[in-house]
A = this chain, B = another copy of it.
Amino acid sequence: MGKGLLIVISGPSGAGKGTVVGKLISGGDYALSISATTRSPREGEKEGINYFFKTRDEFEEMINKGDFLEYAQFCGNYYGTPLPYVKQMLDEGKNVILEIEVKGAFQVKEKCPEAVLIFLAPPSMKELEDRLIGRGTETPEVVAERLARAMDELDLVDDYDYVVVNDDVDEAVNDIRSIVKAEQRRAARNTGINKKIKGVD
């Protein structure tokens, strides 16, 4: 798409996507994609920083125009990743991180085959359960539902490019940095480098 890499980080709820992505972003090497949504702004949320806030009509028009890398509905609201913003950052040579749901990841791969899909996995179901319960914000029913969904999502790991087990956050972050570095060195992403070295570019 552009000169930067599009890195999709996905995986079951409770795998630690937010923490890992937060650490990656804080290093300053990556740009984080901003989602669009039809839900109302919460206190302190700013347009173009936390989300692009859209009406339902606007959002559906964007869907029809193919303006989303991926989108889905949750609890009656649309959430999606607008293509133009991501494309602009990739064109500027920035590596862009998308932190999205498992299903969304495959939508991205379809629209953008050169995207790098990373599945962030918990070390075990027991650990996932402990983390979800430890949050203290979910009811037992919600925890059970998320665990059931995680079981299904784990079976999709083979369709990803990479799998990183989040046992230790710093190690997982280092793994992802290595993956990005390696992908930048892929021969398929460096066509024409022979001419550059020969000085005939």
Q: Which residues of A contact B (CB under 8 A)?
A: 119, 121-126, 151, 154-155, 157-165, 175, 177-179, 181-183, 185-188, 190-191, 193-194, 197-199
Contact = CB atoms under 8 A, between A and B. Distances in A.
A160 B187 contact: yes
Given A178-B181, A182-B182, A182-B183, A199 B125 contact: yes
Contact of A187 (B122, B123, B162, B194): B162
Given A187-B158, A198-B125, A182 B193 contact: no
Q: What is the count of identical protomers in the complex?
A: 2
A177 B175 CA distance: 11
B175 A162 contact: no
Chief secondary structure at chain A's binding surface: helix
A185 B198 contact: no
6 contacts: A119-B187, A125-B197, A157-B190, A163-B190, A163-B193, A165-B193
Contacts of A165: 193, 197
Given A175-B185, A179-B182, 11 more contacts: A119-B187, A124-B199, A126-B199, A157-B190, A157-B193, A158-B194, A163-B185, A163-B187, A163-B190, A177-B178, A179-B185
Contacts of A183: 182
Contacts of A119: 187
Contacts of A124: 197, 199
Contacts of A162: 182, 185-187
B187 A154 contact: no
Contacts of A178: 177-179, 181-182, 185
